[in-house]
Chains A and B, each alone.
Chain A
Amino acid sequence: MSKRTIWRLVSTLLICGVCAYFFLPLSKIRLGLDLKGGVHFELEVQTHEALEADIKDTSDRLQDRLKEKGLPAVVSHDQTSVKVEGFTPDQKPAVEKVLNTFGNYDVAYDATSAKLTQKAAYQQFVKEDASKRALTIIENRVNQFGVAEPEITQSGRDGNRVVVELPGVSEAERERIKGLLSTPGRLEQRLKAKGDPTSYRGFPTREAALAYFNGTLPPGTELLPEPESDRDLRRAGQVPTHDPKHKGEEKIKSWHLVETKVYVDGGDINDAHRAVNPTTDAHEINFTLNRKGSDDFATLTGIASDEGRLISVVLDKKIVSNLSTKEKISGGSVRVSGSFTKEDADDFALKLKSGAMRASMKFLEEKSMGPSLGADSIRSGVLASLLGFGTIIVFMLFYYRWSGLNAIVALTVNLIVMLGLMGSFNAVITLPGIAGFALTLGMAVDANILIFERIREELKAGKSVAGAIQAGFDRVFWTIVDSHVTQLFAAMLLFIFGTGPVKGFAVTLTVGVVASLFTSIYISRFIYDWILERHPGTKTLSV
């Protein structure tokens, strides 16, 4: 064997080995919902939270608006209404004018106060919007988590339920996905209230804080808990443990009084990702803000530095960290460090990227589900695919004799490479996917047919065996490249612009094209060359 042959043999075997690693043993292959079933989650969107959030937003905006107009009114809110109080009767027309701009609200006036409630149609709209948003965000999160071929549907009479069905999910992934799906992922940056003198320390308990304020909190503020972080534990000389059993039972370290006004929220985040702090080795989340977000962030840091106050970073109603700043920061690039494990930080970043839900989700049920296709459908589908593929093999042998065997080796390598690439992408195989495999192999044989037909033509034109093989491959090379590259372009654009199942399909198509390109020009050529090397000067070629 020449050096070149050995080198080609080794590289071929190496590629096959690497590919085999990704799908052997066969249990590594993830089967789709139709073949194997999976897990079924049912969640309910807590739409009333969206209504409450809207009330709170309105209350904040109303206060700002009244302040702008120089009106001394005080705005407060409970769960269902916003109250405006403390204006004099002669200021009433001016207040009315401001309130009239809140068209989605019904307003009931007194001499010196007004009460705003959401209109029924508007409530309906807010609820539907919250459900729709939750659905999109769940889709985003599931897709970014990397579970392929999920089935996500909206159900229930009011459309406020979301059913998520996922194939091939392990027990550990299941827990993580549950957390990922049910928490809103709302990040807020607020100011620590002026009245709270405790700085970083905070109040030890909620009761202590309430006692300090004599039972009533100053208007426009609320008490939020700060969970104990890894750093605190390390400082206390303990090793932080992340026992998954105790997840969600984190210890509350302290309570802080913070303003209810949100300066920057998650909606203004462009991109977020996890990073590791080189000095402390802690996991952090870096995110960049859009234009509005960075303006707001500059305002926030401006106030904080001028008045010497702390900024509280709040995630889902819990304080992640309190920060101080010496100067106004513009540019919109923010880093948050806190008590994160690697997974926590990844999930946190993913939540920030996928956007915040208007309302949290409640888990209604979780159960395993069997395959959606009957055993007989699966059997006939697989058999038909095997039959189609088998017939092509027989036909190639019959029509091209020994060269047909060459094509079969190429097809086998093709199949190995395809399975390997699919495995490395964590792709899920469904019954249509298996049919797609058979079809792709049927099309891949086209490259071999092109080559063999060309070799026959060249032999007929009187070329020697070696010359015919050489000319055959050379002539056909660009044909194969052109036809594959166009398909590859199409597949990649489907991947970039397509969503959901189309993306998964684009991966399969890309994999098929790449595998076919490799086997037809590299493997088939190599087999011929090897045979020519062993039988130099052969006069006939079985093609």
Chain B
Amino acid sequence: MRIFENLPHIDFMKYKTLALSISWALILACFFVAQPWKGSAGRVKLGMQFTGGIDMQVRFRGDMPQDKVRAALVRGGFADAAVVAYESKAGLKDYSIKVKARPGQDEKDSTAQINHIREILRGLDVNAGDPKPDLNTETIGVIADQWIKSNPLGAQGDDTAIRAAYDPWLSKISAARERFAPMTSFDQLPTDLPKVLGDQIKNTYRLGNLSFVKNESFSPSISGEWTRKTLTAVAWALGAILVYIMIRFTASFAIGGIVALIHDILLALGIFAVFGFEFSVPVVASFLILLGYSMSDTIVVFDRIRENSHKPEYRRATITQLVNDSINQTLSRTILTSASVLFVALCLFFWGGPALRDLSFPLVIGVITGTYSSIYIASPVVVYLEKWFPRHDSLKQKHS
């Protein structure tokens, strides 16, 4: 089976100016839509490893599968929450729930976020339908307000004095909750708790099957330093590629290859940001895979150009014809290779689940642009450079 029964003769270089300008216009457009200079206020989304966030720990009594917790959080609007199970005593399930800090988030927003998540988690309790609130997860402040309002102990004085009368009992209840997390019986309440208070609690509250162990904020695990070092590493890599192609081919090929590479990365970055995907460490890795793919795709075309330039029938041919023929000769291979990688990337994108969607997207875009750029960015640059600085023979001195 073959894609082309006969060698195709498509005049690719005819549209080179058009292709070059459309490409770079598209990159500029993406840049203006994504507005990376605005940071997180623009469309560039950063993952938890870059932004930090809140880490909440919750403990369930009885069985509570991880997937159920995750599903509830996703329904509640926390699709990016990371749920991790910790080792726990028999009959208990400990989970750490990490959510990303929203851009420009302050203390108040965090509290609102925490309360929202708590509400979602309370909803997971088997007895969530019970109209009575749950003592194990009730905010201490709410209990305090109730006591101060009804004042069952009959404390005298102004608000502060009344509050002071209840404070020791509140901290005792809080300590009991921490100790038994979660409490299973009202007998676990402090033994010296005045009967009126104990009765009031027993009447208003039920005991749920979960407990909030702690919540604290965490800083980004990926620092600005990491980003800087990674960019430096990429710059060095590009430099090495430039030098290698210069040695094996000529300077115009080296420039053409690098321009195509930068084009692919910028375009993939731009489209990635415009579509609102989130940058994470695996995504950065997939951009680096893309770098390798795009380069090797370009090299194959370049190699054919170099090989053809040695052939007698191209001795008098123009650089345009040489490049055009070389592209046509490698076209079926280019299509096959791109199709196979594109297919894998599409599989990962559509069926790979949420964990792989973000990281396969740059590859879906990158394989398409990488293939296109070998033909329409790298080669035209070579054609232009060879036309402006004609050193046609220098290529032939390079041995293949």
Contacts and interface: CB of A to CB of B under 8 A. Distances in A.
A37 interface: yes
A440 B169 CA distance: 63
A377 B296 contact: no
Contacts of A506: 288
Contacts of B354: 377
Contacts of A85: none
B348 interface: yes
Nearest to B234: A494
A505 B295 contact: no
Contacts of B82: 372
Interface in B299-335: 299-300, 302-304, 307, 329-330, 332-333
Contacts of A435: 348, 352, 356, 359-360
Chain A CB within 10 A, most for which of B2, B238, B288 = B288
A443 B355 contact: no
Interface in A155-175: 155-157, 159, 161, 163
A489 B332 contact: no
A491 B340 contact: no
B241 A479 contact: no
Interface of A: 34, 37, 40, 151-157, 159, 161, 163, 367-381, 383-385, 387-389, 391-392, 395, 398-399, 430-432, 435-436, 438-443, 445-446, 449-450, 453, 456-457, 475, 478-479, 482-487, 489-491, 493-494, 496-502, 505-506, 509, 513
The 4 closest A-B CB pairs, nearest first, are A370-B85, A388-B344, A497-B233, A380-B353
B200 interface: no
A449 B303 CA distance: 15
A487 B66 contact: no
A155 B344 contact: no
B66 A370 contact: yes
Contact of A509 (B284, B289, B343): B289
B396 interface: no
Contact of B85 (A369, A385, A494, A505): A369
B32 interface: no
Contacts of A450: 300, 333, 337
B352 A151 contact: no
A510 to B, nearest CB: 10
Contact of B229 (A153, A443, A498): A498
B299 A497 contact: no
Contacts of A430: 282
A153 B219 contact: yes
Contacts of A398: 1
B296 A443 contact: yes
B241 A381 contact: no
A381 B356 contact: yes
B55 A489 contact: no
B232 A497 contact: yes
B87 A486 contact: no
B230 A502 contact: yes
Contacts of A40: 86
A373 B359 CA distance: 15
Interface string B94-105: 001000000000
B14 to A, nearest CB: 25
Nearest to A34: B355
B216 interface: yes
A478 B352 CA distance: 36
12 contacts: A161-B216, A369-B84, A388-B343, A391-B347, A435-B359, A449-B333, A449-B340, A489-B241, A490-B237, A494-B288, A502-B226, A502-B285
Interface size class, chain B = 35 or more
A432 B359 contact: yes
Contacts of A502: 226, 229-230, 233, 284-285, 288
A513 B282 CA distance: 19
A475 B359 contact: no
Given A483-B300, A500-B226, A502-B284, A449 B356 contact: no
A331 B288 CA distance: 44
B397 interface: no
B296 A483 contact: yes
B116 interface: no
Contacts of A373: 355
B83 interface: yes
Contacts, number: 236
B115 interface: no
B67 interface: yes
Contact of B219 (A155, A482, A484): A155
B344 to A, nearest CB: 3
A453 to B, nearest CB: 4
Contacts of B347: 384-385, 387-388, 391, 438
A502 B282 CA distance: 9
Contacts of B355: 34, 373, 377-378, 381, 431-432
B172 interface: no
Interface string B206-225: 00000000001111111001
B272 interface: no
Contact of A478 (B83, B217, B363, B400): B400
Contacts of A153: 52, 218-221
Contacts of B353: 376-377, 379-381, 384
A446 B296 contact: yes
Given A439-B363, A490-B241, 17 more contacts: A34-B355, A156-B216, A369-B87, A381-B352, A384-B350, A384-B352, A385-B347, A388-B345, A388-B347, A392-B344, A446-B296, A446-B340, A453-B332, A479-B304, A482-B299, A499-B229, A502-B284
B356 to A, nearest CB: 5
A377 B245 CA distance: 41
B241 A389 contact: no
A483 B218 contact: no
Contacts of A489: 237, 240-241, 244
B336 A154 contact: no
Given A449-B333, A478-B303, A157 B218 contact: no
B388 interface: no
B67 A493 contact: no
Contact of B303 (A375, A482, A496, A497): A482
B285 A371 contact: no
A159 B329 CA distance: 60
B343 to A, nearest CB: 6
Contact of A487 (B292, B300, B337, B363): B292
Nearest to A40: B86
B379 to A, nearest CB: 16
A229 B340 CA distance: 63
Nearest to B229: A499
B343 A442 contact: yes
A34 B356 CA distance: 12
Contacts of B16: none
B163 interface: no
Interface string B175-209: 00000000000000000000000000000000000
A371 to B, nearest CB: 7
B351 A443 contact: no
B341 interface: yes
A453 B356 contact: no
Contacts of A485: 244
Contacts of A475: 307
Contacts of A371: 84-85
A431 B85 CA distance: 18
Contact of A384 (B87, B244, B356): B356
A367 B248 contact: no
Contact of B86 (A151, A367, A388): A367
B378 interface: no
Interface in B352-383: 352-356, 359-360, 363
B24 interface: no
A435 B360 CA distance: 9
